């Protein structure tokens, strides 16, 4: 932060905004996943301005610019929360890492064995024209295995796997569904602490 001989204005903080933008535009950020970029935005947008804010009140336009970055972060989080997969030919969807069965990846539900191949596709668990029940039993808890085995394999067809917007019945994004997803009550609303 330069020494100030006059009242701070928007131009006074251009260096701060440039530093935040340079850090976000670096080559490392381009190699990160969507979740990694969200974490980078959160860390950079909150840590770089701290030193300046200890000595000077930030101009309103600078705060708005930093808020814009945070809104991008929340938009990215919202997309991650709402996007899922419609299974087609089973060649693109990762069995453990993608959200294709429920609202979260199957990796959170595995229980019986260690996952040896995190990058395997849904097709790895199909044998001929039905699910490979023996493979499913080795790596999943009974409840999840039953849920998967109840889906007919020939139901999938030959169309390619496609990303969809889970919160709507027609699987197409709408601002209303995104708004509802964003303001959905948190999982902490049933906490025993709320009853006091």
| Alpha-carbon span 121 to 158, nearest angstrom | 15
pLDDT at 110: 64
* pTM confidence score: 0.56
What one-character DSSP code corresponds to residue 96? T
Going residue by residue through the chain, which has 196 residues, state the pLDDT in tens, using 9 for 90 and above: 556 556 777 777 888 888 887 777 765 656 766 667 777 777 777 788 888 888 788 888 888 888 887 777 667 777 777 888 877 777 788 888 888 887 778 887 665 456 677 888 888 888 877 888 898 888 888 888 888 888 776 655 677 888 888 888 888 888 888 878 777 654 434 434 344 4
Give the separation between CA 1 and CA 56, rounded to whole angstroms: 9
Give SS3 for 153.
helix
**What is the structure's pLDDT at 139?**
84
Q: Which residue ranges make up each domain of the chain?
A: 10-82, 85-165
């Amino acid at each position: 932060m330069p020494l100030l001989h006059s009242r701070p204005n928007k131009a006074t903080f251009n260096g701060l905004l440039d530093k935040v933008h340079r850090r976000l535009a670096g080559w490392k950020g381009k190699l990160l996943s969507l979740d990694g970029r969200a974490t980078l935005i959160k860390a950079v947008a909150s840590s770089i301005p701290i030193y300046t804010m200890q000595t000077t009140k930030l101009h309103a336009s600078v705060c708005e610019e930093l808020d814009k970055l945070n809104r991008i972060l929340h938009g990215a989080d919202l997309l991650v929360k709402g996007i899922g997969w419609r299974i087609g030919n089973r060649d693109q969807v990762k069995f453990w890492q993608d959200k294709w069965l429920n609202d979260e990846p199957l990796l959170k539900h595995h229980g019986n064995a260690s996952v040896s191949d995190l990058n395997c596709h849904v097709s790895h668990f199909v044998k001929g024209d039905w699910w490979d029940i023996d493979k499913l039993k080795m790596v999943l808890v009974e409840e999840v295995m039953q849920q998967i085995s109840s889906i007919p394999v020939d139901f999938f067809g030959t169309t390619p796997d496609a990303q969809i917007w889970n919160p709507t019945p027609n699987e197409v994004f709408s601002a209303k569904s995104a708004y509802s997803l964003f303001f959905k009550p948190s999982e902490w609303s049933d906490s025993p602490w709320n009853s006091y």
